């Protein structure tokens, strides 16, 4: 999903052979170009990772079909990352209509339910045509997943609102124009390019390690 209409489309997995081919060593040999394949931030964005760790931020929206398709690739990539790389998800809000979905993610995160329900939200949205874009629809769906309604609402209407505000600030700091996208170490922005996005991220992570 793009904030505005871009001519660049997502590259398919076949264009880069397969996700298993996305190795850091290969990424370093390709030589991606600043300004074309990725952007360097004029002003560094904040990072939550501890000193000595490299933070990668995934910018996504549950309503984004490209994010849904990107998720399995990202999960496979995360499973192979070195210990010094930390990934966190950041739901975007390009307009107020996105805010309930932002709050849904952060409520799940606060309740330690991301592993259980994150993928299910995507599936419900894109395979079951459930438009989880209002507080009422979201709450009803979450309750059907066996989650305590009142406990969920306490997070959804509480800490999730503050976390959503911070998420939008980070989105703006990285100047996110579409999803999925990645931010690397508070210094680089990689727009969604399918599997290539992860190869570029590997290259930037290697660059950050060099100092």
Q: How would residue 14 be classed by pLDDT, with cut points 50, 70 and 90?
A: very low
Task: Give just the sign of the alpha carbon dihedral 141, 146, 148, 152.
Answer: negative
Q: How far apart are CA 70 and CA 190, in angstroms?
A: 14
Q: How far apart are CA 184 and CA 54, in angstroms?
A: 7
Among candidates 202, 208, 165, 162, which has minimal Cα distance to 25?
A: 202
Tell how far CA 168 is from the center of its chain. Answer: 13
Please state the rounded mean pLDDT for residues 12-22: 38
Residue 141 has pLDDT above 80, yes or no: yes
Q: How would residue 43 be classed by pLDDT, with cut points 50, 70 and 90?
A: very high
Q: How far apart are CA 40 and CA 186, in angstroms?
A: 9
At 41, give phi and psi (nearest 5°): -70, 135
Q: Beta strands of the chain (E only): which ranges? A: 39-40, 54-60, 85-91, 181-184, 188-191
Please state the rounded mean pLDDT for residues 62-84: 96
High-pLDDT (> 70) share of the chain, %: 86
Tell how far CA 162 is from the center of its chain. Answer: 18
Please state the rounded mean pLDDT for residues 139-158: 98
What value does the mean pLDDT of the chain take? 89
* Domains of the chain from N-terminus onward: 34-210 (3.40.30.10)
Q: How would residue 31 be classed by pLDDT, with cut points 50, 70 and 90?
A: confident
Q: How would residue 184 be classed by pLDDT, with cut points 50, 70 and 90?
A: very high
At 86, give phi and psi (nearest 5°): -120, 130
Interhelix angle 159-173/99-110, nearest 10 degrees:
120
Q: How far apart are CA 7 and CA 22, in angstroms?
A: 24
Residue 3 has pLDDT above 70, yes or no: no
Please state the rounded mean pLDDT for residues 175-192: 97
At 157, give phi and psi (nearest 5°): -100, 10
């Amino acid at each position: 999903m793009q904030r505005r209409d871009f001519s660049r489309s997502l590259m398919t997995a076949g264009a880069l052979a397969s996700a298993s081919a996305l190795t850091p060593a290969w990424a370093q040999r390709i030589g991606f170009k600043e300004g074309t394949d990725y952007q360097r931030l004029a002003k560094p964005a904040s990072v939550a990772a501890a000193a000595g760790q490299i933070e990668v931020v995934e910018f996504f929206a549950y309503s984004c079909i490209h994010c849904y398709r990107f998720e399995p690739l990202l999960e496979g990539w995360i499973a192979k990352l070195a210990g010094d790389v930390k990934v966190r998800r950041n739901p975007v809000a390009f307009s107020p209509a996105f805010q309930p979905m932002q709050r849904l993610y952060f409520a799940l995160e606060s309740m330690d339910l991301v592993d259980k329900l994150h993928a299910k939200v995507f599936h419900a949205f894109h395979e079951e045509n459930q438009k989880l874009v209002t507080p009422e629809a979201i709450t009803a769906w979450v309750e059907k997943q066996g989650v305590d309604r009142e406990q969920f609402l306490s997070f959804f209407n509480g800490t999730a609102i503050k976390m959503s505000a911070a998420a939008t600030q980070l989105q703006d700091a990285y100047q996110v124009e579409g999803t999925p996208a990645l931010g690397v170490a508070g210094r680089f922005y990689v727009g969604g390019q399918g599997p290539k996005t992860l190869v570029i991220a590997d290259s930037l992570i290697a660059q950050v390690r060099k100092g």
